[in-house]
Amino acid sequence: MEKIFILIAASILLLSLTNAQGKSAAAAAGAGTEGVVKGGVGMTWIDGEAYYLVSLAPEIAFGKFGVGLDLNLHISSEDQKIRKEDFDETYDYIRIIRYLRYGSKGDEFYIRLGALDYSKLGHGSILYNYKNSPSVDARKIGTELDIDFGKWGVETVYGDFAAASLLGVRGYARPLQFTKANAIPIISNLEVGVTFASDMREDSKDTNYAASPSFVGPPKISPTNDGAMSVIGFDLGLPLLRLPVVDMTLYYDFVKILSFGSGMSVGLETNFSGMGLIKIFTKFERRFAQSDQYLPSYFNSFYELDRYSLTVDTAGLVKNFSSKAQVLSNTKSPGPGYFGSLLVDVLGTIQIEGSYQKLDLNPTSGIMHLGTNTGNKIPLIMVSAGYDKRNIIDNKDVFTLDERSLLYAEVGYKPYPFMIVSTLYTWTFAPEKNADGDVTGYKPQKRITPKVSFVFPL
């Protein structure tokens, strides 16, 4: 068994150092962690027999070709052999392939087929870090196809070939490339783009559910099927830097969510990619002219989880209803302000994300969130932690622990793929006052909550 783990560790190290070089950071950041192996080890029991669980997710590049795999090996603790039942059908081998690609995001020609990670159109004001497969057990086959002809080009995303899904298209042109100014550094690469994105599922615009009368029992509950949720946009982009490790783009975006609101932003987007081991996505933008019923980056990394949920209990009564369209319809204009976001991905296993926003019209409107999680790449284990702060006044106020602060951490174990047994730790901070009623400090209050969660494929 020791030899197996040594071999796995060596593979991870070797493939981590073979990431393709000579492309922009946008290309590296947009195409997933190519040329590396993500993985983890654990233990599980099947039919009373103990197995070492080795999870490997190699994403290997061969020139411009790449293949992403998702391999879970159950190795017997008794004879160190791989469980035969895991590979006794043709489908068992097919499902190992997570995606296939040619080229990388930012190349003249790029196509990816299979699971989509961090898909983006333009500067991300409409579609940003979109994932088409929120559950590893319900993997979808989607595609990204980008073609850059030099003077103009197109970016496309489609979420799921098996059904109606999210479709996104951005066409763009570099107008100065058609003139004598095409040799001027930087400014000659000015882009003008138009984007259309639509979730074509009939329930994507639903803000409520339908309850049809029934002669026997409770009303029949069903989606209202209000139709597709569509968004259009116009953008200007000026690439300031294009290097293998880092790229930087200055941009202006206008977005209109059809039948809902609209908004504008100007910002700076910076992407960093380090040998495929770490990827960093950052945005800092000024948002303005945001009306009611408008959400920036509507199709984001959580979209497939948040888009629609309707649960009916055994008695036929609505247990839970939520939809992103409902959240959108209830959103009020926050006014102009600043927004920054950060996403750090370490080998696709640990993600650190953060955001900060501050509104002009409210001096105590600062909101910050920092969080990290291990995702689903570490077998049997789930770990997450975060820090939230509201009503921030200035920079000195960001990490001051008081009644506006919340710290949390959750550690969990997965005895079954659909079950998480965890403990949630939360810390809040209560003011301590002297005899005159003046606040002299803040006392941490710790709360421990045991949890049992059930997670089923969508």
Ramachandran angles phi, psi of 108, nearest 5° = -65, -35
- Tell me, what's the pLDDT at 58? 67
Whether 267 and 381 share a structural domain: no
Compute the distance between CA of residue 27 and CA of residue 110 in angstroms, rounded to an integer: 9
pLDDT at position 25 over 60 = no
pLDDT category at 406 given cuts 50, 70, 90 is: confident
- Say which residue the tokens 């992407």 belong to: 271
Whether 268 and 369 share a structural domain: no
Whether 204 and 132 share a structural domain: yes
Domain-terminating residue out of 279, 302, 330: 330
Q: Is 132 helix (H, G, I), strand (E, B) or coil?
A: coil
For 81-124, what is each residue's pLDDT tens digit?
887 777 777 766 777 888 999 998 888 999 999 989 889 999 99
Select from 357, 330, 331, 422 the least CA-distant residue to 385.
422
Q: Is 363 helix (H, G, I), strand (E, B) or coil?
A: coil
pLDDT category at 355 given cuts 50, 70, 90 is: confident
Domain count, the chain: 2
Tokens encoding 433 = 């006052």
Compute the distance between CA of residue 238 and CA of residue 249 in angstroms, rounded to an integer: 6
Compute the distance between CA of residue 346 and CA of residue 356 in angstroms, rounded to an integer: 21
- DSSP-derived secondary structure letter, 217: S
**Who has greater pLDDT, 108 or 46?**
108
Whether 430 and 290 share a structural domain: no
Domain-terminating residue out of 279, 297, 330: 330
- Tell me, what's the pLDDT at 254? 98
- Tell me, what's the pLDDT at 175? 96
- Tell me, what's the pLDDT at 352? 87
> What mean pLDDT is predicted for residues 118-139?
82
Q: The domain containing residue 54 runs over which residues?
A: 2-330
Asked whether residue 251 is assigned to any structural domain, the reply reads yes
pLDDT category at 441 given cuts 50, 70, 90 is: confident
Compute the distance between CA of residue 333 and CA of residue 167 in angstroms, rounded to an integer: 27
Whether 297 and 349 share a structural domain: no
Cβ neighbours around 181 below 10 Å, total: 12
pLDDT at position 37 over 60 = no
